[in-house]
Amino acid sequence: ETGVTQSPTHLIKTRGQQVTLRCSSQSGHNTVSWYQQALGQGPQFIFQYYREEENGRGNFPPRFSGLQFPNYSSELNVNALELDDSALYLCASSLVTAIYGYTFGSGTRLTVV
């Protein structure tokens, strides 16, 4: 059974640029969620994807967008990067009912300069 894999592990971008982060879900899971974790804080929910559609969204602006593919993998896209977007971005996979909880990846550390 494979876990959740995220790429890249680290990324440095310039303010105003765009970035795409990738996530492969755990085998058997059909839902992917994305979280942003600032230094010293708990992860904050960005959005969730199920059946290739957004299934819930947190308090993040539209420049945060995502995709889910037929194999349940997912992308997080952030446009017009701001310095405050610097954070650890975590991907979690689950069943849509979350009955067995969530499995997280190792994260992508994004630094915006």
Partner 1 sequence: KQEVTQIPAALSVPEGENLVLNCSFTDSAIYNLQWFRQDPGKGLTSLLLIQSSQREQTSGRLNASLDKSSGRSTLYIAASQPGDSATYLCAGTPENSGGSNYKLTFGKGTLLTVNP
Q: List interacting residues with partner 1 (CB under 8 A).
A: 6, 31, 33, 35, 40-45, 48, 50, 55-56, 58, 88, 90, 92, 96-107, 109
Nearest to 109 by CA among 92, 91, 86: 86
Q: Are strands 108-112 and 10-13 parallel, antiparallel or unpaired?
A: parallel
Q: Is there a contact between 55 and 49 (Cβ–Cβ < 8 Å)?
A: yes
- The answer for residues whose C-beta is within 8 angstroms of residue 61's C-beta and 6 or more apart is none
Q: Is there a contact between 67 and 42 (Cβ–Cβ < 8 Å)?
A: no
The smaller minimum CB distance to partner 1, of residues 78 and 94, is found at 94
The smaller minimum CB distance to partner 1, of residues 20 and 44, is found at 44
For the bound state, the minimum distance from the C-beta of residue 16 to partner 1, rounded and expressed in Å, comes to 26
The smaller minimum CB distance to partner 1, of residues 18 and 52, is found at 52
For the bound state, the minimum distance from the C-beta of residue 6 to partner 1, rounded and expressed in Å, comes to 8
